[in-house]
Amino acid sequence: MENGNSYRHILKWGDKHEEGISHHMAEVIKEKFDLSDADFKGKHLPGTEPVKLEKPSMLKPVQVDFFRSVSGAENIQTDDVSRARFSCGKFYGELLDLRLGLVPDPPDAVVAPRTHEEVKKIISFCSGEGIAVVPAGGLSSVTGAVRAPGGGIALDLTKHLNKVLAVNKVNKTVTVQAGMYGPALEEKLNRQGYSCGHFPQSFEYSTVGGWISARGAGQASTGYGKIEDMLVSVKVVTPAGVIVTRDFPRMAQGWDIFRLFAGAEGTLGVITEATLHVFNYAPENTTSAAFIFRSFEAAVEAMRIIIQAECGKPHLFRISDPDETDIAFRTGGFEGTLADRALQMLGFKTGSRCLMFVTVEGEKDYARFVIRKIKRKARAGKGLYIGTSPVRKWLEQRYSSAYMRDPLMDLGIMTDTLETAVTWENLLKVWKAAHEYVARRSKAFMMIHISHVYENGANLYFTFLSPMEKGNEKNDFTTFHRGLVETILEHGGSISHHHGVGRVLGPWMEGHLGRSSMELLRAVKKHLDPNNIMNPGGTLGL
């Protein structure tokens, strides 16, 4: 076992015991990548050494003293392990760095403010001194959004600013501090009969402020919306002053200020509080349905028809493409069963068949009515209803795939995800082009799913696996990753649907948005953060 001050302790997902790879999954991997049992012994780049930073903290003692005077000495950390922990998120390239014993972008200190007022003092001081500030939530960013390339401080919002301030039962909203983690928020809400409705895969280790800053999407976003759809108002400390917006349901008083902070990724200021819509908590009402389609094209067409029908919406709404469906069937132990053979005979063949999962939430009879409507439409689109248990099983392990990455990397397997938003018109183009791109690499494998669905399009979520090029892990990954990003953009995808942009995707922003739009982003940034202290160094390509 690694110890508490190792690189591995920082890179591993979650604080649970490591589970390793299931028997079924191991078989798939052996086959796909020509591995033998011997390859499963030992760990590639395990990162078990103790953390040791090259860069000393560059803060002046008087600056550290200031932070201590504001937030208390116990809330300022300058040791190597704390600095390394706040030097990165969970982007594959960052995990690789840690495994290689590299910490390229540590902050000089980690400061954990206790109040909104302390955040104000800290931001004002840092703006005057030119000290960079990286607001930090759960550090689950997969886009390099929480690095400190120029040093400065990481602002740990999770230690103190992690409470529900008010549940408003009349307005059906919650006002919550930015550093609160998903499970704590959801538990508080459940006790009052509500749910936050936002369940990203990172739910266990991500915060409200991070959700807003990255414009995250939960697994039931088709029904509940992305976090920006749930956002009612914010309280933000910027170097140019505090911005507090009001909780009006809608308004027509100029353009919306609060929306600028959805997706700002810490570049404009520190969100300290937010008011969000909440939803009725009634899991016993949830209806679900799983379908199988003969092809991805047929499943996508059925999905589009369902979402455009104006007869109530699914909450969870997913399609796994043939490659992901195949993995799901194999790792689920379904492959080769009698039922599988029956499906094959009916034309639902490995390599082209696709799973679709749906849930509908809300009042009991409403959820039942809408799922019936969806079943009818899925059947009309040649989908075969295969019951509810595949959906229930999926829900039970809904956060598990994040835990798979560490053991895969231990095996020397590169694994990362990308995602994009795309109109229905371009969706199949992007899907095909991405698969073709990955197929050009030997021993590479990609699964794609659709998991967030809208009237005019959907997202595509890409998970790729390939053996690392040992000794050249970073360059190999960077080149491969760049090509995939460019393939997505060239065929009509967006830079990101819900992971955000960070520093990893920043270089594509200007070409993608156009110069006038990018300069508008920069003008907003320049106004709110004239000394460029807020999460500087390439975030959003600013």
Nearer to a copy of itself, 136 or 243 (CB): 243
**For a copy of itself, which residue of 115, 331, 478, 494 counts as binding (CB under 8 A)?**
494
For 217-229, b/e burial (b = at least 16 CB within 10 A) is bbbbbbbbbbbbe
Which own/partner contact pairs does 517-524 have at CB distance under 8 Å and 24+ positions apart?
524/260, 524/268
Interacting residues with a copy of itself between 364 and 393 (CB under 8 A):
365-366, 369, 373
Least distance between a copy of itself and beta carbon 524 (Å):
6
Query: Of 62, 67, 60, 86, which Cα lies nearest the Cα of 147?
Result: 86
**Shortest Å, Cβ 3 to a copy of itself:** 36
Q: What is the DSSP letter of 230?
A: H
* Given 33, 199, 203, 279, the residue binding a copy of itself (CB under 8 A): 279
Minimum CB distance to a copy of itself smaller for 75 or for 245: 245
Helix (H) or strand (E) holding 346: none
Of residues 404-423, those binding a copy of itself (CB under 8 A): 421-423
The only residue of 27, 34, 187, 247 in contact with a copy of itself, by rule CB under 8 A: 247
Among 446, 528, 533, 534, binds a copy of itself (CB under 8 A): 528
Q: Is the CB of 335 or the CB of 510 nearer to a copy of itself?
A: 510
**Between 83 and 525, CB nearer to a copy of itself:** 525
Shortest spacing between CB 231 and a copy of itself, in angstroms: 11
Q: Is position 500 an interface residue for a copy of itself (rule: CB under 8 A)?
A: yes
Judged by CB under 8 A, which stretch of 18-26, 181-189, 309-317, 462-470 contacts a copy of itself?
A: 309-317
Residue ranges in 139-198 that form contacts with a copy of itself under rule CB under 8 A:
168, 170-173
Size of interface with a copy of itself, in residues (CB under 8 A): 90
The nearest distance, CB 372 to a copy of itself, in angstroms, is 9
In the numeric block, the tokens 């799913």 are attached to: 449
* SS3 assignment, position 350: coil
Stretch that binds a copy of itself, among 121-129, 157-165, 238-246, 472-480 (CB under 8 A): 238-246
The secondary element (H helix, E strand) that includes residue 401 is none
Angstrom distance (rounded) from CA 250 to CA 232: 9
Q: Which of 175, 177, 219, 238 binds a copy of itself (CB under 8 A)?
A: 238
**Among 69, 192, 308, 389, interactor with a copy of itself by CB under 8 A:** 308
Those residues whose C-beta lies under 8 Å from the C-beta of residue 78, and which sit 6 or more positions away, are 57, 59, 64, 108, 109, 110
- CB nearer to a copy of itself: give 8 or 304: 304
Binding residue (CB under 8 A) for a copy of itself from 424, 437, 445, 477:
424
Q: Is 26 in the site for a copy of itself (CB under 8 A)?
A: no
What minimum distance in Å lies between the beta carbon of 265 and a copy of itself? 8
List, edge to edge, every strand of the sheet that includes 164-168: 164-168, 173-177, 270-277, 231-238, 241-244
Nearer to a copy of itself, 354 or 542 (CB): 542
Pick 171 or 350: Cβ nearer a copy of itself: 171
Max Cα-Cα span within the chain: 75
Of the pair 50, 312, the CB lying nearest a copy of itself is at 312
Distance CA 431, CA 428 (A): 5
Whether the Cβ atoms of residue 206 and residue 180 lie closer than 8 Å to each other: no
- Residue 479, Cβ neighbours under 10 Å: how many? 11
Phi then psi for 24, rounded to 5 degrees? -60, -45
Determine the Cα–Cα distance for residues 95 and 8; give it in Å rounded to an integer.
Answer: 9
Among 354, 391, 509, 534, binds a copy of itself (CB under 8 A): 509
Identified binder of a copy of itself from the candidate list 249, 283, 351, 471, rule CB under 8 A: 249
**Contact region with a copy of itself (CB under 8 A), list: 82-90, 111-119, 257-265, 409-417:** 257-265
DSSP H stretches of helix in 353-494: 364-380, 389-396, 405-410, 424-439, 473-490
- Cβ-based neighbour number of residue 248 at 10 Å: 10
Name every residue whose Cβ is closer than 8 Å to that of residue 313 and which is 6 or more positions away in sequence: 222, 223, 307, 360, 370
Q: Is 309 in the site for a copy of itself (CB under 8 A)?
A: yes
Q: Least distance in Å: CB of 494 to a copy of itself?
A: 4
Minimal distance in Å, beta carbon 7 to a copy of itself? 29
How far from chain centre, in Å, is Cα 26? 25
38-77: contacts with a copy of itself (CB under 8 A): none
Q: What are phi and psi of 233, to 5 degrees?
A: -160, 165
DSSP 539: G
Minimum distance of a copy of itself from residue 535's CB (angstroms): 12
Q: Quote the least distance from Cβ 500 to a copy of itself, whole Å.
A: 5
Does residue 252 belong to the site contacting a copy of itself (CB under 8 A)? yes
Closest C-alpha to 342, from 384, 301, 307: 384
**In the set 52, 60, 259, 482, which binds a copy of itself (CB under 8 A)?**
259
Rounded to whole angstroms, the Cα distance separating 79 from 320 reads 44
Q: How far is the CB of 527 from a copy of itself (least distance, A)?
A: 3
